[in-house]
Amino acid sequence: MRVSTLDLRERRRSAQSRLPTELGLDGVELDAGERARAIASWRARMVSEYVSARIFSALVPQAMRAALPHPSVRALTQMATEEVRHAELCAEVVRGLGAEPVAPMPEDLAPVPEHRDADPLEAILRNAIAVGCCSETVAVALVGAERELAATPALARLLRSILRDEVGHARFGWSLLERSASRLDAGQLRRLSFHLVTIFRHQLATYAPLRDLPGASDAAVSVGIMDGPATFRLVAETLARVTVPGLERHGLEAGRALREATSRAG
């Protein structure tokens, strides 16, 4: 894996006034291991948010090809900016934990698929469902739970700010599906349903490692350390109880796709 370095030590002047100056995390009682785990987690999250900007940027030409209306294209460009802002917020938490917001960043990032085998609307729907209806919907659940348990009011406010954007990102996928579903013919619905198996397998493979992680103390969870098994359960429940019914309302065979993905995942 080729890596570069993501270095967010330098704050933008314009952003400085909008960033929390004191998160109060030094008052949280963590043992050395928990603090190390928290720092590692927020550094990785900083990178994850930062590289997510490429996903929304890649959706812009796909949205144009699909002739989506201007507000949709504009929203996608804003979402890319929001992901970079989230990385800056994560950097504040790293600082609040007493560390430098510097982390290794992989260079060989997977490209966002263009789905040239499908027509433009079906192509962007494949990605919008994967990103908005699955990944970002799961993110809403995860960040929402995290905010409830945040160690300090300042950290809760920071998470709320991220959560607000994640809700918008999830809604992009759901609203595009809502607006497009009536225009989809039987063949497109069938192919999208088929692609859902791939999307769910991808989701399960992405989050499955959580099952092998240890649990976490209340103090650890309050600073953003994931309790592995509990977090995996939340992911699975969100997919099964929110994503699947939502997709099925639009004529997609999501329940069947999730069952197939689960059985293939073993």
Residues found near another protein in the complex (CB under 8 A): 1-5, 7, 9, 31-33, 35-37, 39-41, 43-45, 47-48, 51-52, 54-55, 99-100, 102-104, 106, 109-110, 112-113, 115, 117, 126-127, 130-131, 135, 195, 198-199, 201-203, 205-210, 213-214, 216, 225-226, 228, 231, 264-265
Shortest reach from residue 18's CB to another protein, in Å: 24
Angle between helices 186-207 and 228-238 (to 10 degrees): 170
Shortest reach from residue 117's CB to another protein, in Å: 5
Shortest reach from residue 143's CB to another protein, in Å: 13
Our CB check for another protein shows the closer of 23 and 139 to be 139
Our CB check for another protein shows the closer of 110 and 186 to be 110
Our CB check for another protein shows the closer of 15 and 205 to be 205
CB-neighbour burial class of residue 190 (10 A; exposed 0-12, middle 13-18, buried 19+): middle
Our CB check for another protein shows the closer of 4 and 16 to be 4
SS (H, E, C) 45-76: HHHHHHHHHHHHHHHHHHHHHCCCCHHHHHHH
124, 59 in Cβ contact below 8 A? yes
Shortest reach from residue 245's CB to another protein, in Å: 21
CB-neighbour burial class of residue 71 (10 A; exposed 0-12, middle 13-18, buried 19+): exposed
Shortest reach from residue 17's CB to another protein, in Å: 25
Shortest reach from residue 197's CB to another protein, in Å: 9
Q: Residue 106, Cβ neighbours under 10 Å: how many? A: 13
Our CB check for another protein shows the closer of 150 and 220 to be 220
Query: What are the angstrom distances between the C-alpha of 178 and each of 68, 200, 246, 248?
Result: 13, 20, 10, 11
Kindly give the pairing relationship between strand 3-7 and strand 102-106. antiparallel
Our CB check for another protein shows the closer of 127 and 152 to be 127
